[in-house]
Amino acid sequence: MFEASELNIRNRKVQRLFRILFLLMTLLLILPVAIILAILTWKGSSVINLSFLFTSPTEGMTAGGIFPALIGTIWLVSVALLFSVPLGVAAAVYLSEYARDNWFTRTINLAIINLAGVPSIVHALFGVGAFVLFFKFGTCILAASLTLGIMTLPVVIVSTWNALQAVPMAFREACWNMGATKWQTIRRIVLPNSISGILTGIILMVSQTAGETAPIMFTGAAFFLPHLPHSVFDQTMALSLHLFVLATQVPGVPEDLPYGVAFVLIALVMVMNSLSIAFRVYLRGKKKW
């Protein structure tokens, strides 16, 4: 009765077949990208050296380094962070700690999902219409960073919300029972115990912000500038836009130069993401309850 019937054997064969098929699909998804990244690294690393990172482009951007673009990206990301981290964390605190499960909260969640789904070029149009023209900032770091900040706000909100929700409800109740206000509970128990999760999300947001191109093209980033920005009301170069410009707009660029820029951009994003992942793995191993 317990002998493997013919049907059973067939089932097992089908199972093995599908297992292999799905493994192949996974690999086919990952391998081409791995190969592409290898090519990028191989071609890009040949131009990377200290003077590439720390000098300005020269000879109509066909030679020299990427220093102003690197600094510009840091400017753009920092200002965007200053805007979206406090706002996003506060919004997540509201949604996690104060909001009740009703239509209004659902509307907020829907808005967040949509904010994340709006095409980046539409964010750019918004940036132009709102910050550059309506608020009369002109094309500058501030306008570009605000656009980026709004675009990446959902990342901060969602990751912070997840981090806050990971703190057990019992801790909050214990504090409330002692007469702590909601804010005291949040400040003394909830935030300190979710700060690492929040940081993980912020790093992800930095990585995403650094790579965005479309939203900054018309709001504050310029193709080429002879000097570094001095304030948020200056225009700036940016790594992502620099790659686009080198690859499509400038004639006579040596073949390897854009590979170098692409490599720096990828490296930046990958380091950020790995950091975020490592942080998460480390946290999982270090539970406080």
Question: Which 46-85 residues touch another protein, going by CB under 8 A?
Answer: none
Q: Are 45 and 263 in contact (CB under 8 A)?
A: yes
Q: Of 199 and 210, which has the nearer Cβ to another protein?
A: 210
Q: Is 269 in the site for another protein (CB under 8 A)?
A: yes
Q: What is the DSSP letter of 95?
A: I
Q: Is 166 in the site for another protein (CB under 8 A)?
A: no
Q: Of 28 and 230, which has the nearer Cβ to another protein?
A: 28
Which of 47, 205, 214, 221 touches another protein (CB under 8 A)? 214
Maximum alpha-carbon separation in the chain: 84
Q: Is 128 in the site for another protein (CB under 8 A)?
A: yes
255 CB contacts (<8 Å, ≥6 apart)? 43
* Min CB(229)–another protein separation in Å: 20
Which of 212, 229, 235, 257 touches another protein (CB under 8 A)? 212
Own/partner pairs for 225-231, CB < 8 Å, 24+ apart?
225/68, 226/56, 227/68, 228/68, 228/71, 228/72, 229/71, 229/72, 229/75, 229/141, 231/141
* Min CB(163)–another protein separation in Å: 14
179 CB contacts (<8 Å, ≥6 apart)? none
CA dist 192 and 240 (Å) reads 35
Q: Is 23 in the site for another protein (CB under 8 A)?
A: yes
Which of 1, 4, 6, 29 touches another protein (CB under 8 A)? 29
Q: Of 33 and 50, which has the nearer Cβ to another protein?
A: 33
Residues 169-198 that bind another protein (CB under 8 A): 170-171, 173-184, 186, 188-189, 192-193
Q: Of 231 and 248, which has the nearer Cβ to another protein?
A: 248
Q: Which stretch binds another protein (CB under 8 A): 46-54, 62-70, 92-100, 227-235?
A: 92-100
Residues 105-124 that bind another protein (CB under 8 A): 107-108, 110-115, 117-124
DSSP, residue by residue, 168-235: -HHHHHHHHHTT--HHHHIIIIITTTTHHHHHHHHHHHHHHHHH--HHHHTTTB-S--SS---STTS-
Q: Of 25 and 53, which has the nearer Cβ to another protein?
A: 25
Q: Which stretch binds another protein (CB under 8 A): 35-43, 49-57, 63-71, 227-235?
A: 35-43
Q: What is the DSSP letter of 25?
A: H
Q: Are 239 and 72 in contact (CB under 8 A)?
A: yes
Contact pattern for another protein over residues 245 through 264, marking x by CB under 8 A: --xx---------xx--x--
CA dist 215 and 72 (Å) reads 14
